[in-house]
Amino acid sequence: MAKTAVVKKKSAGFIARRVLLYVVLIIIGVIMVIPFLWMLSTSLKEQYDAVKIPPVWIPPQPQWINYVKLFTEQPMLQFMLNTIKIVFFVVLGQLFFSSLAAYSFARIPFKGRNVMFFFYIGTLMVPGQVTMIPTYLMFAKAGLTDTHLALILPAFFSAFGVFLLRQFFMSLPKELEEAAEIDGCNPFMTYWRIMLPLVVPAMLTLGVFTLMNTWNDYMGPLIYLSTPEKFTMTLGIAYFKGVYTTQWNLVMAGSVVSVLPILIAYLCAQKYFIEGIAFSGVKG
Is there a domain that residue 52 lies in?
Answer: no
Query: Within this chain, do residues 16 and 71 fall inside the same structural domain, yes or no?
Result: no
Instruction: State residue 113's pLDDT score.
Output: 86
Domain around 32: 2-43
- What is the maximum alpha-carbon separation in the chain? 85
Query: Within this chain, do residues 7 and 138 fall inside the same structural domain, yes or no?
Result: no
Is there a domain that residue 156 lies in?
Answer: yes
In this prediction, residue 241 has a pLDDT band, given cuts at 50, 70 and 90, of confident
- For 70-107, write each residue's pLDDT tens digit: 888 888 899 999 999 999 999 999 999 999 999 989 88
Is there a domain that residue 32 lies in?
Answer: yes
More confident position, 51 or 26: 26
- Enumerate residues 6+ apart whose C-beta is below 8 A from 105: 113, 116, 117, 120, 162, 166
Instruction: State residue 7's pLDDT score.
Output: 53
Is there a domain that residue 209 lies in?
Answer: yes
Query: Within this chain, do residues 84 and 29 fall inside the same structural domain, yes or no?
Result: no
Instruction: State residue 81's pLDDT score.
Output: 93
Instruction: State residue 151's pLDDT score.
Output: 92
Is there a domain that residue 55 lies in?
Answer: no
| Number of domains composing the chain | 2
Among residues 282, 283, 280, the alpha carbon closest in space to that of 98 is found at 280
Is there a domain that residue 62 lies in?
Answer: no
Work out the average pLDDT over 135-159.
Answer: 90
Is there a domain that residue 59 lies in?
Answer: no
In this prediction, residue 148 has a pLDDT band, given cuts at 50, 70 and 90, of very high
The CATH number covering residue 126 comes to 1.10.3720.10
Supply the mean pLDDT for the chain.
84
Query: Within this chain, do residues 116 and 218 fall inside the same structural domain, yes or no?
Result: yes
Query: Within this chain, do residues 72 and 27 fall inside the same structural domain, yes or no?
Result: no
d(CA 14, CA 9): 9
Query: Within this chain, do residues 175 and 247 fall inside the same structural domain, yes or no?
Result: yes
Is there a domain that residue 241 lies in?
Answer: yes
More confident position, 1 or 87: 87
d(CA 234, CA 232): 6
